[in-house]
Structure 1
Amino acid sequence: MFGTNVLDRRSKPERIADQAWTQLSAAVGSAGDSVRGTARSARRNGLDLADGAGDLVGSAAEEARRRALLAFDALAGRRPALPWALLISAALVGAAVGWAAGTAARAVGSRDGRGVDEIGFVDVDRPDSPVGTEG
């Protein structure tokens, strides 16, 4: 008698209730783990979506703010500022293209064995030309 288990002394309904409680606790625990895993996954995906949406909304808000300021300036009669960065960059690109074209022209001219500086110009008097007539 002393070696019997205390749980064995309970009645059958008490044992069934205890087993049901144990199973319910295990089911709630595993469901909680599943819900926690799902919540972590949803939170992670939600943060990624929120970051993407925040970037999109931020850029849209900046564009809306820029357009609103331009509209306000137009209604106030102010002209938009000159795009100095664009003008300066176009001038620099033009200078670079001109320099490259000049270098290429000098290279082509010196390929014949004579430099571009050695080309001589001949003045030709035309019969109808007022230049060179003295009189």
Structure 2
Amino acid sequence: MFGTNLLDRRSRPERIADQAWQHLVSVVGSAGDSVRDTARSARRGGHRLGDEAGDLVGSAADEARRRATLAFEALAGRRPALPWTLLISAALVGAAIGWAAGTAARAAGSREDTAVDDIEFVDVDRPNAPIPQD
């Protein structure tokens, strides 16, 4: 009760100024929180965009460096090295396909076909030739 009496004794401008001050403190505090939250989300988004841009720039720089090296080598009159890995892998794939085809051909050739033995050939060049009877 004692505190309320003291507050009542202040003049109206003092009370309005006190209310305005409290309101200002409240608004600044909430604005600070809002700005802090916005800054955090912007920092996260900026970090993510920065990482993506860094990856993109890094890969572009690697490609540019590779192309510049190839251009320098070409201007110096040096031929590019043979892609030995590609050549060896192509040879191994070709050998595997050849081995598979050879195995399949041997398997097909070794199979006995009994229908071939039962075929009887007839001479059709002679019109009156007798047909053999068994």
- Tell me the TM-score range normalised by the shorter chain: 0.7 to 0.9
Matches of 1:81 and 1:23 in 2, distance apart? 76
Pairs within 5 Å for 1:32-111: 32-111=32-111
Deviation, structure 1 residue 65: 0.2
Please, which runs of 5 or more residues in structure 1 have no aligned partner?
A: 114-135
SS at match of 1:77: coil
Question: Letter of the aligned partner of 1:43 in structure 2?
Answer: R
Matches of 1:74 and 1:81 in 2, distance apart? 11
| Structure 2 equivalent of residue 31 of structure 1 | 31
Deviation, structure 1 residue 22: 0.8
Question: Letter of the aligned partner of 1:26 in structure 2?
Answer: S
TM-score, length basis structure 2: 0.77
Report runs of 4+ in structure 1 exceeding 4 Å deviation: none
Quickly say closer, same or farther: Cα 1:91–1:58, change in 2 above 3 A.
Answer: same
Matches of 1:41 and 1:86 in 2, distance apart? 48
1:18 to 2:12 alignment: no
SS at match of 2:2: coil
Matches of 2:95 and 2:3 in 1, distance apart? 103
| Structure 2 equivalent of residue 129 of structure 1 | none
Deviation, structure 1 residue 4: 4.5
Matches of 1:3 and 1:73 in 2, distance apart? 93
Matches of 1:107 and 1:33 in 2, distance apart? 80
Matches of 1:111 and 1:33 in 2, distance apart? 85
- What is the identity percentage for the equivalent residue pairs of Structure 1 and Structure 2? 78
Please, which runs of 5 or more residues in structure 2 have no aligned partner?
A: 114-134
| Structure 2 equivalent of residue 123 of structure 1 | none
Matches of 2:51 and 2:3 in 1, distance apart? 63
SS at match of 1:15: helix
1:7 to 2:13 alignment: no
Quickly say closer, same or farther: Cα 1:3–1:99, change in 2 above 3 A.
Answer: same
